[in-house]
Amino acid sequence: MSYEPEPHLQRIDAIFQRALEMPTGERAAFVAAECAGDDALRRRVGRLLQADVEARTFLERPPADRRGAREPGAGDTIGRYRLLRELGRGGMSTVFLAARADAPERRMALKILHRGLDDDETLRRFRQERLVLARFRHRHIARLAGGGTAADGRPYLVMEYVEGVPVDAYCDRHRLPVAGRLELFRKICAAVAYAHRHQLVHRDLKPDNVLVTADGTPKLLDFGIAKLLDKALIDASVETTREGIRLMTPGYASPEQVLGLRVSPASDVYALGVVLYLLLTGRRPHRGDGTRHGLGVAICYQKPEPPSEAVTHWDDLPDGTELSPKAVARARATTPRRLRRRLAGDVDAIVAKALRKPPGDRYPSAAELGIDVTRHLKGHPVRARRPTLLYRGLKLVRRHRAVVAVLAALVLVLLGWGVLAVV
Amino acid sequence: MSNMDAEERSGGEITELLRRWSAGQAGAADALFPALYGELRRIAAACARRERADHTLQATAIVHEAYVRLAEQPGIAWESREHFLGLAARVMRRVLVDYARERGRAKRGGRAEKVELAEAGALAQGGEPDLIALDDALGALGAVDERLVRIVELRFFAGLTLDETARHLGVSAMTVSRDWRRAKAWLYEELHGDEL
């Protein structure tokens, strides 16, 4: 079958091609200008752009390839690993507890991508990221042990298996006071900072990805994996971005992620801010009206309540349970009043700075956030607050209570001498 | 075994045609197409017998197996593996679309065709696009840009990667990536236009 080229089709194709090359936001205006006065043409190009979005996985699987139709399960073998049981299933992948065939006692976590995410482009990125991750060595980041391609063509990663509980559950279970929580959080920041120094943004930080082992060591999971998976987000299409948001955890997404804008280390800082908020108050800063859209709007436009105020009132948690100020305080080994006072000031300021809407207004990196938390723990002035003389003076006084007391006494004594001398 | 003889005979014939084709002889490609078609179907049938019934064949695997068999033949000046695969991709498209048609006929219970059902069944796809409709849509795509059709044949029907496709067409992987996206959008619009 051979068709003569139709000039009309070439024209549609030319406009479509050029529209594809520009940022999503500019496409509509461009197409409208190019098709001025020709509604049918504009609609056709619009349909092609829409098709481009929806055709992401279309034709990416060779025909007649049904070999992987069955999802892997316990007992199956992938590469050198035998799957023992399913550990979890996310929007993008399934994680299994696995053992190496030649070393059955060594437990690993094997993560395999869901179908449809294994197009060429993803596979290429996957390999690249694996190389980066393989070089990662940090005691608070789960180590990447290897990976490969399963028989059905899907890539998988093998990681250190971390036996631990999500950081929020760990803190509550051990009734960690605010200082203990901040101490743990500081270590998490250090791990994220290490990744940022290696030009890797996590993109999906949440308690489920921050486990704490029995000896209290935090371990970050899934570094860089989110990036592999939401590459569609970067394809700069609002529609795909919405699709991508469905893939990620909306409760921890930053405004720029909700809006599909550029993701940077500041996006991780934001997610860390949400985690910190949760550790301190038992709830997340935004809930919206319960819908995904409402949550997105709240994340982008609503100012979160300061933690010190959040802990003073009741709240409904997403799982339907109620959160009382008393229970929150008890889990932090304190009373509601003390908890409020503990959070007011420095901690409120640190959380607010991590959660600012414009990425540029937040801490520039996880390192800075961690340093500010450390400053607070040591009683130094935090960067999140305006450095007024009074604030710095008070900090100085609190830090050196004994010295100040002695000095004050000395001054009084000297004054006393003076008075006596005058008399 | 007579079966073996047939295979060897066809192998020799294809080799001869390939030799002429790679020497640039006029009309060689036209003769090569049906010969290669038979060869690919034979490989598919052999694979279908080997595999368990619930196992589906991979078109890619068949094309590559054909290449491995033929590449070992002496006397052929291969420009490249991609050179062969480009031709095989076009043939594979035909093979797969024909299987889809035969399967459709067998399902409707019409005149019992002498179809190797196991073979057709194993190659038919589940859930993926309707190959017959796709074949028609590819015809229409040719009116937009013939190269897009080639890319779909190479990427989808022969299962070549972006890089292999780029080498075959002598363009950059970037170009293939862009064109592939374009082709997919056009085909998707053609097949699902009323849902957009």
Quote the crossing angle between the two packed helices B131-141 and B81-108, to the nearest 10°.
Answer: 130
Please name which of A266, A268, A186, A255 lies closest in space to residue A223, comparing C-alpha atoms: A268
Q: Which residues of B make CB contacts under 8 Å with A?
A: 55-60, 96, 122-126, 128-129, 131, 139-140, 142-145, 152, 155-157, 159, 161-162, 177-178, 181-182, 184-189, 192-193, 196
Sole residue written with tokens 């033949």 = B73
Task: Report the 3 state secondary structure along B171-190.
Answer: CCHHHHHHHHHHHHHHHHHH
Write out chain A residues lying below 8 Å of B128, CB-based: 61, 63
pLDDT tens-digit map of A81-118: 989 888 877 656 788 999 988 888 888 999 887 765 65
Q: What are phi and psi of A89, to 5 degrees?
A: -140, 125
* Amino acid making up residue B56: T
Poorest-confidence range of A24-38, A127-141, A229-243, A348-362?
A: A229-243
Q: Percentage of residues in chain A with pLDDT exceeding 70?
A: 83
Amino acid A276: pLDDT? 98
pLDDT tens-digit map of A287-322: 877 677 788 888 888 999 999 999 999 988 777 778
On whether the CB atoms of residues A185 and A100 are closer than 8 A, the answer is no
Q: What pLDDT band is residue A232 in, cutting at 50, 70 and 90?
A: very low
Residue A1 three-state SS:
coil
Higher pLDDT, A154 or A106: A106
Residues in chain B, overall count: 196
A288: left (phi over 0), alpha (psi -120 to 50) or beta: left
Please name which of A363, A345, A370, A342 lies closest in space to residue A281, comparing C-alpha atoms: A342
Q: What pLDDT band is residue A156 in, cutting at 50, 70 and 90?
A: confident
Q: What is the pTM of this model?
A: 0.56
Distance CA A207, CA A398 (A): 33
Instruction: Give B138→chain A minimum CA distance, Å.
Output: 9
Nearest CA in chain B to A59: B156
Q: What pLDDT band is residue B30 in, cutting at 50, 70 and 90?
A: confident
On whether the CB atoms of residues B75 and B19 are closer than 8 A, the answer is yes
Instruction: Give B77→chain A minimum CA distance, Å.
Output: 29
**What ipTM score was computed for the predicted complex, to two decimals?**
0.74
Closest partner residue to A1 (CB to CB) among B122, B139, B196 is B139
Distance CA A308, CA A334 (A): 14
Average pLDDT rounded to a whole number, residues B46-51 = 58
On whether the CB atoms of residues B57 and B92 are closer than 8 A, the answer is no
| Active-site amino acid positions of A | 204
Q: Measured in Å, how far apart are chain B's first and last C-alpha atoms?
A: 55
User: B142–A10: do the CB atoms touch at under 8 Å?
Assistant: no
Please name which of A169, A261, A159 lies closest in space to residue A206, comparing C-alpha atoms: A169
Write out chain A residues lying below 8 Å of B56, CB-based: 64-67, 69
Q: Which of A16, A44, A119, A120 to mutate to test the interface with B (most CBs of B within 10 A)?
A: A120
Say yes or no: A120 contacts chain B, CB-CB below 8 A: yes
Q: What pLDDT band is residue B49 in, cutting at 50, 70 and 90?
A: low
CA triplet B115, B116, B122: central angle to 5 degrees?
120
Amino acid B112: pLDDT? 44
List CB contacts of B184: < 8 A, sequence separation 6 or more.
A51, A52, A55, A58, A59
pLDDT tens-digit map of A239-285: 333 334 444 456 788 888 888 777 888 999 999 999 999 999 999 99
Nearest CA in chain A to B130: A63
Amino acid B81: pLDDT? 60
Amino acid A386: pLDDT? 78
Q: Which of B131, B144, B162 to mutate to test the interface with A (most CBs of A within 10 A)?
A: B144
pLDDT tens-digit map of A317-368: 777 778 899 999 999 999 999 999 999 999 999 999 999 999 999 999 999 9
User: Contacts from A206-210 at CB under 8 Å and sequence distance 24+?
Assistant: A206/A249, A206/A251, A206/A252, A206/A271, A206/A274, A206/A275, A207/A166, A207/A167, A207/A168, A207/A169, A207/A275, A207/A278, A208/A88, A208/A166, A208/A249, A210/A166, A210/A167, A210/A275
Write out chain A residues lying below 8 Å of B96, CB-based: 63-64
Tokens of A392: 């710095």
The per-residue pLDDT of chain A, averaged, comes to: 82
User: A65–B143: do the CB atoms touch at under 8 Å?
Assistant: no
Instruction: Give A260→chain B minimum CA distance, Å.
Output: 20
Write out chain B residues lying below 8 Å of A5, CB-based: 143-144
User: A3–B96: do the CB atoms touch at under 8 Å?
Assistant: no
Please name which of A216, A206, A207, A219 lies closest in space to residue A176, comparing C-alpha atoms: A216
Tokens of B51: 């595999």
Sheet containing A164-166: which strands, arranged edge to edge? A164-166, A210-213, A218-220
Amino acid B76: pLDDT? 57
pLDDT above 90: residue B158: no
List CB contacts of B143: < 8 A, sequence separation 6 or more.
A3, A4, A5, A6, A9
Higher pLDDT, B125 or B35: B35
Closest partner residue to B96 (CB to CB) among A5, A10, A64 is A64
DSSP assignment of A100-139 equals ETTEEEEEEEEEEEPTT---HHHHHHHHHHHHHHHT---T
Amino acid B114: pLDDT? 41
